[in-house]
């Protein structure tokens, strides 16, 4: 039997983001299981007090800080896995990060996924997924290079993170209890909470694999639940005590919204419209088989429990648009 590998020296690129921060905190909590855990301080990015104090908590927790630019090969030396939880405007840098890290000897990548199955419906050609698709294509191309047959990757698929499903970007205004949804009340999406997504990601890092039969090129699919919009608004109304005035729009009208945003050069609006198209066409509904059973110690939190928790917490209330 071929030897099983584990990922023991981990570098997080994009540690100050929502997912990056949670990943770093989870790595710190389990640091005894790894040889090396580190985060990447991108020196080309603005240095804010908030970021510096966050990085200090990571260092105090036992993470190593690696500083440099994405083109600095030396910064990636000594790691066997790079995780890239990058924001919308940074996802396009992943091929550069991958090339620098490969040159430094890294052979495993977690790309900026943590979302839908890119291969279903029209997802592959959606604007929102453009740079995620280019990243996959780049990684898979490098994986065919004769000098890197051991190059591997992990894609984590879950649909939508529950906390994100009810924000302005998807048409939900929690301050005024109104919503404009591209789709229908029966439209479904798959939801998994961020803590569960992070917990599953950590388990996959510890999950051994072999490089035979493409065992080092992994896709995991984790499922929480798949409610309809109607069920989501029922939960929201129960938890907030407010009736939501919901308008459902023909999903295909988001095509025009996306084209208008493109003409205006408004990338964020373009991504929002593209996201609404994906959502409304059922692109974030994840189908099985799922990999939850590999890690039975994780019990995904219900949508009700997630909403209850995030409407109570002052930080997440801000994220939801309520003071
Ligand atoms: N399925 C879902 O519902 C869902 C929800 C949320 C996120 N996600 C996925 O999770 C991944 C991470 O998302 P996130 O929300 O955690 O990201 P984020 O918080 O928006 O950004 C992550 C980090 O990216 C870096 N960054 C942002 N803009 C940049 C720019 N213009 N140039 C260079 N760096 C920039 C920043 O780090 P520095 O400033 O430190 O450089 C930032 O902290 C993405 O793949 C996203 O699609 C999925």
For 86, the 3-state DSSP assignment is coil
Average pLDDT over residues 293-306: 98
Give the whole-number percent of the chain exceeding pLDDT 70.
Answer: 99
Q: How confident is the model at residue 2 (pLDDT cuts 50, 70, 90)?
A: low
- Answer yes or no: is the C-beta of 280 below 6 A from any ligand 1 atom: no
Question: What is the whole-number distance in angstroms between the Cα of residue 135 and the centre of ligand 1?
Answer: 15
What is d(CA 185, CA 234) in angstroms, rounded to the nearest whole number?
Answer: 11
19 CB within 6 A, ligand 1: yes
* pLDDT of the residue at 129: 95
259, pLDDT greater than 90: yes
The encoded tokens of residue 269 equal: 């609006």
Confidence band of 323 (pLDDT split at 50, 70, 90) = confident
How many C-beta atoms surround the C-beta of residue 107 within 10 A?
Answer: 21
CB-ligand 1 contact for 45 (6 Å cutoff): yes
Judge whether residue 321 has pLDDT over 60: yes
Cα(67) to ligand 1 centroid in Å equals: 18
Q: Which atom of ligand 1 is nearest to the CA of 93?
A: 33
Q: So what's the pLDDT on residue 213?
A: 86
Ligand 1 centroid to 189 CA: how many Å? 21
pLDDT given at position 86: 98
Region 102-130 average pLDDT:
96
Residue tagged 């990243």 (tokens): 135
pLDDT at residue 222 above 60?
Answer: yes
The answer to whether 222 and 194 have CB atoms below 8 angstroms apart is no
- In what order do the strands lie in the sheet containing 81-83? 64-68, 36-42, 9-13, 81-83, 108-110, 152-157, 217-221
Check if 18 has its Cβ closer than 6 Å to any atom of ligand 1.
Answer: yes
Is the pLDDT confidence value at 242 over 70? yes
Task: List phi, psi (to 5°) of 189.
Answer: -140, 155
Please indicate whether residue 87, judged by its CB atom, sits closer than 6 Å to ligand 1: yes
Q: Per residue in 147-182, pLDDT tens?
A: 999 999 999 999 999 999 999 989 999 999 999 999
Residue corresponding to tokens 């199955």: 117
Report the alpha-carbon distance of residue 135 to residue 180 in Å, rounded. Answer: 32
Handedness of CA 30, 32, 33, 35 (dihedral sign): positive
Task: Copy the structure tokens of residue 264.
Answer: 């205006």
Q: Is the CB of 17 under 6 A from ligand 1?
A: yes
CB 288 within 8 A of CB 221: yes
Which two structure tokens, joined as six digits, stand for 94?
């992943």
Q: Tens digits of per-residue pLDDT, 71-109? A: 999 999 999 999 999 999 999 999 999 999 999 999 999
| Across 135-147, average pLDDT | 95
| Average pLDDT in the chain | 96
> What DSSP character marks residue 211?
S
**90 CB less than 6 Å from ligand 1?**
yes
Q: Percentage of the chain with pLDDT > 90? A: 96
Enter the tokens of residue 122: 């029209």
User: Rounded to an integer, what distance in angstroms lies between the CA atom of residue 106 and that of residue 123?
Assistant: 29
pLDDT of 172 reads: 97
Tokens 């890239």 appear where? 84
Block residue for tokens 């939501």 = 244
Token couple for 288: 């099985």
DSSP label at residue 4 = P
Give the pLDDT mean for 267-278: 92
Q: How far is the CA of 86 from the centre of ligand 1 (A)?
A: 4
User: How far, in Å, CA of 64 to CA of 58, rounded?
Assistant: 8
Residue 247's H or E segment, with its range, is: strand 245-249
**CB-count burial class (<10 Å; 0-12, 13-18, 19+) for 120:** middle
* pLDDT tier, 3 (very low <50, low <70, confident <90, very high otherwise): confident
The residue-averaged pLDDT of 278-296 equals 96
Residue range 33-52: mean pLDDT, rounded: 97
pLDDT at 1 over 90: no
Residues 128-156 have a mean pLDDT of 96
């Amino acid at each position: 039997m071929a030897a099983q590998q584990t990922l023991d020296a981990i570098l997080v690129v994009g540690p100050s983001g929502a997912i990056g921060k949670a990943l770093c905190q989870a790595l710190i909590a389990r640091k005894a299981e790894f040889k090396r855990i580190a985060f990447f301080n991108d020196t080309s990015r603005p240095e804010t007090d908030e970021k510096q104090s966050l990085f200090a908590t990571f260092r105090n927790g036992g993470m190593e800080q690696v500083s440099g630019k994405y083109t600095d090969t030396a910064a990636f030396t000594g790691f066997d896995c790079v995780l890239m939880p990058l924001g919308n405007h940074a996802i396009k840098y992943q091929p550069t990060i991958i090339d620098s890290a490969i040159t430094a000897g890294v052979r495993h990548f977690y790309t900026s996924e943590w979302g839908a199955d890119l291969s279903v419906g029209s997802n592959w050609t959606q604007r929102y997924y453009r740079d995620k698709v280019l990243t996959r294509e780049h990684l898979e191309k490098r994986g065919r290079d004769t000098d890197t047959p051991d190059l591997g990757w992990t894609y984590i698929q879950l649909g939508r993170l529950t906390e994100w499903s009810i924000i302005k970007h998807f048409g939900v205004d929690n301050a005024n209890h109104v919503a404009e949804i591209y789709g229908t009340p029966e439209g479904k999406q798959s939801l998994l909470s961020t803590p569960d997504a992070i917990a599953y990601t950590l388990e996959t890092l510890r999950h051994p694999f072999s490089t035979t039969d493409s065992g080092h090129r992994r896709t995991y699919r984790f499922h929480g639940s798949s409610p309809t919009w109607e069920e989501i608004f029922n939960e929201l109304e129960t938890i907030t005590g407010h009736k939501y005035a919901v308008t459902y729009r023909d999903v295909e009208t988001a095509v025009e919204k996306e084209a208008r945003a493109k003409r205006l050069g408004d990338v964020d609006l373009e991504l929002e419209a593209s996201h609404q198209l994906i959502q409304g066409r059922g692109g974030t509904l994840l189908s099985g088989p799922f990999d939850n059973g590999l890690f039975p110690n994780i019990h995904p939190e219900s949508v009700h429990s997630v909403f209850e928790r995030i409407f109570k917490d002052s930080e997440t209330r801000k994220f939801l648009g309520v003071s």
